Structure 1
């Protein structure tokens, strides 16, 4: 991380593709002392950075947003961006969406739809050949300066007047490898991908050659085609590796795209594919899986096996059953895989988790059953897992195969996969008492054990449940899907009535737009509303992104999403005034409708500007939960709005011996959080938001835990209120769990 200097964005610009960027840069900024450049090959992303002004206040975040026309070169590689334009079909022309809000940063014209998709040519620059000393002597070249001039590519004139060129005294340089990174979001981009000259000649600029404006070479367009006026020495093209990032509708093994990858394969190119139907949904971090396994054994009712599943379609089986292509040259792209480019191309795969990923045998069984299903429905010939269009015949000659969307819906694969050994179909439990789900329990930045802040509280409501989400750090939607699977995720989002953001630090809200967008998708067929309760300036951030997120924009326009300023619910006098109502544009009728059965009260937190503590009472059940957000111990909160809470969720960022650091950063220690609980007379307390310096089990020290209805939060913990007092009765077992996990991790590293 400390060495990372340049980030290249692929595909089109949307919240899905760049929503994690500010959190990544904030995390990365703490480790890297240099400047970080970020670039899209197709659009100017300055409006994206401008939208961060609502919550990033770090002057030290040094980010250079490079223009789409700029290219990159250093001593080793050259990177040229390629903006692939979509074909303007009737569908893409009409996708203008609803009326969009014009705002100061991101507007409906910032990223004109349809956008070009960013892809890249990564060229390893040729290294010089060996200098032939004997040959130089024969040609009369004296040692010293002329040797250096020749090795740097310049001709020299010897003392006897002879001109000697570099190629006369240098061995030929080896042809360097080229890597293509191709992002094809949908079928509209296929023509642009397959017709682009990926083997075009780029001309490198040597470090001693001046640019037109005499600026540093890394900040100007330093690569061009062979027809460019930029001088330099051309070199042979040898494409060795291609990464294909493909949208769901793109079928890489039919029609034009199949012809494209076939030509590459005939040139012995190693090709990686990332595709929703071919890429398995498995767990990357073995340490996380180990910890989950240990906690499930210790607390089976509080931790569930993490959701994972194999691919819907098997790459080798469905593609090569009637093909002349070599399956070894086609690989699924997996997290943490490494490809070595020099001295030879070598793929180093990171082994999948045996406990969570689908085995090869199981994957084969899935495809056999899928093909059997296709045959029984009259949709296949026993060799294909993708339905053919009527009258089409699949053959090795890709040019004769029509292009079509990838469609697996008729194969009935999903129910089969759910039963494959090694996969898990997690779900959301039915409850008969309030439940707390801690999805993110770390502070500041994600770690492999703790994601950033998010806690969900569910309460029974009639025959179902209703839920409120307290804070929503980056990756929250992914955590929900990993813990509950697709079925449980939809159930939880149908229960969600309130999304509460305590303050504007990025680790508490960067996951919110993804959750809201998914909430709108899941609840498309009903008339439910979601209350977004957050500090006032957050509304501007949401509104700006709504300009290019049609679903979110429609949710705001139709009042499916109701934004309410936290200050509206301030307890006491002197805070609420007409300015707040003008800022959030929510009428009392709007609030009464969306918060039916829910009473919210807030007070100022002792942390940063516009930070709040909150108490929520579900009036149908009289259950009261209080949430501190980030705050120093706040006795006003404890003795007023939070008094006699049934559940307190309180931050405990620092261990007790770091009290001075807690004061300086306006956080609480574990002991201070417990003191708030006692002052509040809370019936149960869960501590969360632990410092990432102790990502496993925080040290409780001399805190009196056995007499307190207290639990420590871990990611993925699902705990009924009645279960809270039981956890720390097994504190010694918890310590043993983490000791064993650490030992097993060391064995894995060995």
Structure 2
């Protein structure tokens, strides 16, 4: 049985390391950072047959790709998935319940304790016919120097991490409440998929039950029930066409779900589910004490042991021993002794043959290690795990010569080192690396020593080709092919070293050392041009189109040199993601940055990968405006609704904001519905995201409903438009007061939310700056009267344009707009600029009617300018008129670069045929 290990994503501006282990019948994935799903598309690899996910940390940096990947798995008919990680991973999964759910899949999460002392004979956390996976807890140690060993018997400590461990142990030791004396209604003893303990049923029966009062085993059980409600693996149950469908009892486990209309297509119905547990839409139980500092988090490393392979059968030796052909040889090959009759001379005797007489020596199982070492503080614990364990000593030794013996039990073939700052240069860690055998290959992930090439090369290649059209609008994504420090400068490292790249593949059997996977490398058309290995070639038609567009734009600029400046001309409108529902190779999911010079930034929605898009747009280093500066200047994030493609990137942005040095001196206001704020609060229970910061400059919540254009001093919505909860942080007047501070900080006259028509509660927004310019953002919606009334005469309308005009009926069913409808809405609103975004991946090109007309300097639009958005198009309000001259060249470029073997929409077919929004 052949198997391999490959790097899906490496450490870069927009990804964290993600590793795939592949067998013919199964895949195993380690860590799913943001952009995991999109990276599958870029690399051409697939996720089919994935059996289990493993996480090294319970942090958003390692888990933010999980929602999109899980829904992708389910839509691709994967029905069963196991998930492993440190304590907190189950809480993170459950916190996604209002926007991540699929009926067709069952997910079984398992948390691995870090509090139990290491066992001399550890047992696998996961085992099947392919792999045995051992989890190795690694915790930071209080250190006086980077290489000090932990004290053997330390006195009682006041160290914050020690207090954290005590919190975990206390949680595990808490006894469950006594079960109720009276048996409850039998119909409530199951949640539809599994039993509920009598102790938890007793809690459910208490008046005003709230999940956040649960602790210990009851909290764990409640999380299990929530996850089962999210992923029940139930059968499909939809009404027949032509018949009115019965409304599901549970509906989607999503806040404020809109009831389908009576004439809805049956395919739009979700499958029937049992009712969710009590408190499903309220605060989850508070997990055990989290570290006061993010650098104190526990991590897991993993040891992967492959299958045992029998030695080769020696047919010649079997013949010498008289073993007959057929079944007996098969029995020997299975490792069993055989007895048979054989004639020697005139005598028939019985002969017993042992397997080792005819079988070559068994091949030692290959082993792979994935070591997550965030800082030098983790090194002592990691080393002691191997030094003090007889079992782990079979893979690593202080005397590595012992691992070279011919009768060794295992072959440690491959070690992935996920190194934080300073780890790779630490003398103790280098000594530890040298403790592996001479056959071990080492793959290094280190932000200090790895380059930062472009991840999504298809999109970057298009940007590079259009750079000639306008190098300001279509600037090349930021990247670096040179690491900050050369690996060769680090002394005393093992000889077999490889920098981690997203194309690196290692065959464990048959053995082949790590090398670039050629199918992945050949998909990269960007870096060969950047490095000069290939030349950038434009077709004659594209070249002519570019020259004509540049000529016309230059002529108009010359003719209007003395004209008064456009109001808000220098305000940036930067589309960081322009795709709808699903990412593609060319478009990330939705996010738009409004950059207001001298005031600050506003972000409209934050789909998965928004931080990476920001980093690629501005870069992480340099003297110019960097992504860190853009994040520091961010004063408002508006999240329109709960669909995952609009907010999954938000938590990662907040985590990055916590890394700003110096810390922010102004607050960040998040305007959204209760469900989004609830999700952030639950995540902040396992990782500090800056909520409730004592400095006053953390994350400040504002409820969208408090800024509604028709608000009259209180929340007035009913049904699906009700606020949805009663938590103290939902206070109406507090939101109003915070919104006033936000407007003052950004120089806004007003900031109003508008309810729009989508398949769940969704708000658009309209705001006006005191300088006179204004922006309206539609969010996801079918054509909306409310948005039209509130956005009249707006400077920029940012409107979703999900569907092609031929898909008008599909757009209606899914409560989206077609491109033509979006343009029509803008014209009715008398919008000066109609900025189209949220395109389905099925339609990478623009409609013919937008690109066939080539304007001239004498006849071009000065009002209702149509601006199709593309990821990283750096536009300002004053430059938007240029796009009408660029459209023909943009579409010509799409034609020239379209993959020969790829039809429009192929990316969608790879991911799913089910819309998520």
Please indicate, yes or no, whether the TM-score normalized by the shorter chain is above 0.5: yes
What is the correspondence of 1:470-619 to structure 2 with a 5 Å cutoff? 470-486=604-620, 487-522=625-660, 525=663, 527-555=665-693, 558=696, 560-572=698-710, 576-577=715-716, 580=723, 584-585=730-731, 586-596=734-744, 597-598=747-748, 599-618=750-769
Show structure 1 runs of 5+ residues with no match: 204-233, 361-430
- Given candidates 659, 673, 676, the residue that maps to 2:825 is 676
Structure 2 residue matching 1:438: 3-state secondary structure: strand
Pick closer, same or farther for the CA change 1:533–1:724 going to 2, 3 Å: same
Question: How far does the alpha carbon of each residue in 1:159-209 deviate from its partner, in whole angstroms, 9 at most, with x for none?
Answer: 777654433342322234222111111112111222333996599xxxxxx
Over the aligned positions, Cα root-mean-square deviation in angstroms equals 3.5
- Given candidates 87, 93, 98, the residue that maps to 1:43 is 87
Give distance in 1, aligned partners of 2:569 and 2:884: 23
- Given candidates 413, 421, 426, the residue that maps to 1:254 is 426
Pick closer, same or farther for the CA change 1:80–1:494 going to 2, 3 Å: closer
- Given candidates 845, 853, 860, the residue that maps to 1:697 is 845
1:17 correspondence with 2:62: yes
Give distance in 2, aligned partners of 1:330 and 1:624: 55
| Deviation of 1:648 (Å) | 0.4
Give distance in 1, aligned partners of 2:434 and 2:830: 69
| Deviation of 1:141 (Å) | 5.8
Structure 1 residue matching 2:97: 3-state secondary structure: helix
2:562 is matched with which residue?
none
Structure 2 residue matching 1:345: 3-state secondary structure: strand
1:376 is matched with which residue?
none
- Given candidates 312, 323, 326, the residue that maps to 1:130 is 312
Show structure 2 runs of 5+ residues with no match: 1-45, 113-122, 145-156, 168-210, 214-282, 342-348, 394-406, 534-567, 856-860, 903-917
Kept in 1: contact 2:702–2:736 (CA 8 A): no
Pick closer, same or farther for the CA change 1:61–1:698 going to 2, 3 Å: farther
Structure 1 residue matching 2:813: 3-state secondary structure: helix
Give distance in 1, aligned partners of 2:137 and 2:532: 38
Structure 1 residue matching 2:889: 3-state secondary structure: helix
Question: How far does the alpha carbon of each residue in 1:342-369 deviate from its partner, in whole angstroms, 9 at most, with x for none?
Answer: 3233222266964687899xxxxxxxxx
Give distance in 2, aligned partners of 1:82 and 1:66: 15
What is the correspondence of 1:632-651 to structure 2 with a 5 Å cutoff? 632-638=782-788, 640-651=789-800
- Given candidates 451, 457, 461, the residue that maps to 1:290 is 461
Pick closer, same or farther for the CA change 1:553–1:165 going to 2, 3 Å: farther
2:889 is matched with which residue?
733
2:772 is matched with which residue?
622
2:116 is matched with which residue?
none
2:180 is matched with which residue?
none
Could you tell which deviates more after superposition, 129-138 or 589-598? 129-138
Question: How far does the alpha carbon of each residue in 1:258-312 deviate from its partner, in whole angstroms, 9 at most, with x for none?
Answer: 1112233x62321111111101112133323211111221122312221112211
Paired residues in the alignment total 632
Kept in 1: contact 2:705–2:711 (CA 8 A): no
1:722 is matched with which residue?
878
- Given candidates 427, 431, 441, the residue that maps to 1:270 is 441
Question: How far does the alpha carbon of each residue in 1:515-561 deviate from its partner, in whole angstroms, 9 at most, with x for none?
Answer: 22333544855541221001112111111111232352453884632
Give distance in 1, aligned partners of 2:630 and 2:850: 38
Kept in 2: contact 1:631–1:666 (CA 8 A): yes
Structure 1 residue matching 2:134: 3-state secondary structure: strand
| Deviation of 1:656 (Å) | 0.9
Pick closer, same or farther for the CA change 1:736–1:643 going to 2, 3 Å: same
Kept in 2: contact 1:9–1:118 (CA 8 A): no
Structure 2 residue matching 1:53: 3-state secondary structure: coil
| Deviation of 1:77 (Å) | 3.2
Kept in 1: contact 2:124–2:133 (CA 8 A): no
| Deviation of 1:120 (Å) | 1.4
Give distance in 2, aligned partners of 1:470 and 1:499: 6
Pick closer, same or farther for the CA change 1:162–1:552 going to 2, 3 Å: farther
Pick closer, same or farther for the CA change 1:434–1:48 going to 2, 3 Å: same
Give distance in 1, aligned partners of 2:704 and 2:890: 37
Give distance in 2, aligned partners of 1:545 and 1:334: 30
> TM-score with structure 1 length normalisation?
0.76
Pick closer, same or farther for the CA change 1:649–1:179 going to 2, 3 Å: same
1:172 is matched with which residue?
361
Kept in 1: contact 2:692–2:699 (CA 8 A): no
> TM-score with structure 2 length normalisation?
0.63
Pick closer, same or farther for the CA change 1:735–1:148 going to 2, 3 Å: same
Give distance in 2, aligned partners of 1:685 and 1:669: 14
